[in-house]
Structure 1
């Protein structure tokens, strides 16, 4: 899973979500206000036209007035492109006006300016009625209202873009700050996963929820470290304390075995007991060795190591055992493998354990393969066989101490081989995983360079 994707971070998503909600609220509120204002402006526009119509029509009732003269006075006083006036006689002849004759119905009508020959993009609102037998048309363009509409819509558009940009910018800043803190948590948990139980999440002292969560995690990690170290120490102490009496027991068994004229049955039992003592001793030595590796004591002995040379040397040591077991070994190591900082002896022990596991569990005629690859920043080694393999649900468990797939535990082995492999890999900062070789098992160890 890719965790560094800024767009998928929770703070960024929250910022964008709230920005979208805020933008929707602005648009709904703004457009509601816009339509109310627009409706009021159109209403006032119609009222102004009716008022102008009424004023001109009223002059016809005055004794000293002439509504035609009043109409001409209005035409002279107004802007031709915005205000329209037309008075026609019953026979259709024009009495006065500033537009060409048109056939307008009684009441309200809306006519494009191009029909009136007054402008391609203007729209006019007209009111037509009869004044003492004559037809009077009064109208006014929507130019001012439409200009305000365009300005308002453009303002909403720019405001929306501004809100989105601010939200994205703010969300990015918040996400970057949060990602730095979450990355510290993720890195710490990565250290814990690789066995560095002393790692802790750094606290910034802000007292916020992330600091609180980090503090709780650190307390849990401290308890985990104490428990795990206690378990490791118990197993190490048991192995250490029992090693001396076990050696005494073996010495006593050897002395008993060297006595002359022992019955054959007793001699066989003593030989079997010595072998069992040796097996127990090997288990204790492996436990102590793993404890020493996990403590990091061998890191002081690190030097420049050629991983290809270490794996080749191990293969040469086990060539005879591999041949005796009826197995075949192929080595695929290209030239130019980069050097690593590490402990050559421990690396050879790691590969020796993997080869011993393959020899022990693979049938005759099985094939073993050792591979070394490198790419920028990483050296990869693979020990692969076409034997029975390990079930997918068991591949993580086999790295546990004393864990064995064979529940009866009748076959030779201590159940510590892969535990030591993992301990050596983690000491070198490497990762180890088991893969399906189809058929068989592949043990992949990836070493970081530098």
Structure 2
């Protein structure tokens, strides 16, 4: 459990970000320390320069007494040799000051306490030696204060780093624990789905973060998977029920043909009937295969910009005479000015053809069928309306199932796959299909999203 916790992505990410922040803190601390050190060194030099100037100004012409008094005054005001002063003659003899030795040379130098004969301070000194008349004046300042400030800065950075490390670890533990709980919830749900519990869904926190967005996508995929599995189950059941009758009819027809042949009677009529039954069964399976291919998205690569008005006009031209032959009328309204949609032209034609064929097949003579198109809520709606018997409200959700047929339509030709194909094509195009009461009759509307040109 501990190793799993340490390997968790939230914990590792927190530690990684914390380590990056520590590196940034170390770099910033080093830069700050170096700037402070340089600033303190510059102030030490400035202090030494100011002291040298003040003391040297007390020297009058050949008035070494005042110069010596000034040196002794400054030397007496310092403790533990934090500042050092010395006045020497040409022979190098110390005339005044608080050091016993004076390093040779003039100008700026950094020397140890031993070079000045200082025993109660072990810090290095920044000194300046210069001539004042015929004498040499040495002024220096200890680096003790600079080192103390430097140590304080380093200790502060160390404490800050230590507290940051502790904060990073605590934050990593908290974030990892919360993240692990959510990941465990996802893993548990997927495990239940793997065992066949397709209704299981991952709970969201409602915070709307990236994990919630991912959970939403996973749940949507699970919804789709559940729907597909239920669809396959329903197809299996429907095939078992709805194809059993035509297969039995085919078997009976073949048996009748065999009996007729054995009796020396003509069998051509029986064979033609068997052929027709076989063609209908093959058509049903072809339609099922076509729906499966559409649902798999195989036709999405053929999407282009399609003018829905031309689709409506072509269907109206193709089925106008068919409707007349059945004693019905087919009218087209509002086909102009519709914006293009993105889709497969052939499949869109198939959708409207299926809807019109259904209307012609199920409406009595004298019925009126209307093809129309309009803009509705930013989408392009293509609809087929009739004043026939319609579909009962309780049956409207079921008619999209494969091989499902309303009871009163079972005596008419058809396989019960027309609206299933319409639904599959609509899903492929991101469209919606709705059934509405036309009082009397039915309105089937397919709403397509507008075509969005590629940038």
Flag the structure with larger Rg: 2
* TM-score normalised over the length of structure 1: 0.50
